[in-house]
Structure 1
Amino acid sequence: MSTTKFDPAKDIPDLTGKSFFITGGTNGLGAHSAVHLANHNASHIYISGRNAQNAEKIIAQIRDSGSRTEVTFVECDLSSLSSIKQAMDAFVATAPRLDVLMCNAGIMAKPLGLTKDGYELQFGTNHLGHALLIKKLLPLLEKTSATGGDARIILLSSQGMFLHPKDGIDFDGLRTVQDFGIGGPWRRYGQSKLANMLYARQLSVHYPEIVSVSIHPGVVATDLLSSGKLWKRVSGYSTSLGLTLAPEEGAFNQVWAATVEREKIQSGSYYEPVGVVSDKKLDKTGQDDELAKKLWDWTEDALKEY
């Protein structure tokens, strides 16, 4: 069931000349986003991830559909800052243009763990990894904006952000596994998704020439969400109400944000459902600009050597 009147087939404009970079573009919402964009003549789509075999399947699917969009796989591990640095430095050195960066990749409700750089696994992957990738690609996006283009950054947040710890982000514990006890995996997930939303707002402040927004895709039946007792309960309840989206529908919000006319999108805002500004639905923590600034400063310090 779709919760929006947005129809990609009719509402996405011709994308000739535009290039897109989609993290996690080898499966799930990222792959469906690539297909939607390729159907409207995007000039070049870059899909990043760790699975080259999955990437080849998506590339073949787009090619076999008759689309002339060029699709390139960029191997990159978001849980490793050195992997991101190496991949993005090489990308920036060769890519002629970038119009839209879609930060789609993510992990959810994982057991206790650390990234390769020693950060809590979900925060380090969902937020910090994307933050470094964004910093590396900002010069290309700024160039697009400076030459009359419409540069955008879309970060996938989630209503799961409301599961964040009491203070929103436990900065003192980010170099630990953050064992929050019962419900810990979801609190860590909520913390990372809150960070995605807050970071998009800060990007709009620091780079006003680039449209930066966060979105919630909805409750979507993807591989990312298909395991775990809690998800099965949520999924079953949502399905009974007709609220669970198919993956191709789950991609609608991010594709809308990537392609809608500039005057119809508000930089710095959080969108849920498709095309609806939902900043007032955020809790007190989500509306805390001081927390957003603290996150920005913490992130800048964490990434300064990269």
Structure 2
Amino acid sequence: MTIARTRIGSSELEIAPLALGGNVFGWTADRDASFGVLDAFVAGGGDFIDTADGYSHWAPGNGGGESERLIGEWVRDRGARDRVVVATKVSTHPEFSGLSAANVRAAADASLERLGTDRIDLYYAHFDDAETPLAETVAAFSELVDAGKVRAIGVSNYTAERIDEWFRIAREGGYHLPVALQPHYNLMERDFETNGLRDAAEREGLSVFPYFSLAKGFLAGKYRDAMDVNSASASPRAEDAAAYLDARGLAVLAGLDQLAELHRVPVAAISLAWLRQQPTVAAPIASARNTDQLPALLDSLEVELSRAELDLLSAASTDADR
């Protein structure tokens, strides 16, 4: 299979159009499971890994940085640094909170150490920091590019207005511009289309990498009733996914089931293909806590939905008030 590659914004980074989410590494996936998923992802044609310095500080016994460290160990063990593109983020690690210039610099160095590399391919401002002047943050990220520690800049969880402000500051100051945007976006969460973020991405040429692409497992078809949500094999996010179990969610699942049968792929592959084919989206982000979950994600790379199929799913996921 030949996988069409996509460029991240105006950067020199090229990837297969599927990002492997690293949030589960060191949380619901231990070292062996994480290594197995990473091995299978690359063997299946993937090459873009997304993580953050804060993953997964929320888990008992963790302090943050577990995901980065496991990815770094895998990269070193497999000699894979030049075969993968690694994205990470700053602002949520308990020891490196916020986006002050000093924190951004220190957090980047800590991420480089955990990842065992000399450069971060794509570095995101994970969450906006209202306590720090945006000009300070913009300059700090640009300086990391100048220093060779970061190849490209991204923003995550920013409003359209703050993205516009970032670009204004960067242009006026002669700083490096962001090339990527990471928003919450999937078939069940479509505010991205109307809240100005997609317009900003189109205006600035940002490559979009949606997180929660499978709506916490709901769009993989894992949760169809209360029994699925409460089963022993359910993920820690099952209760959140259960919020989608309404008439609209069931309509989406029915559409997904129809197309999954037609294309002979799992439901998750159809969900990811729909998202990948939306305007401005370069690659959806999806995670797998074991190798059994990975084939459905990789199958999405081979699915190309027709305009009628895209419209079918879009209509099913549009409630009466939209």
Q: Provide the TM-score with structure 1 as the length reference.
A: 0.36
Larger radius of gyration: 2
Q: Provide the TM-score with structure 2 as the length reference.
A: 0.35
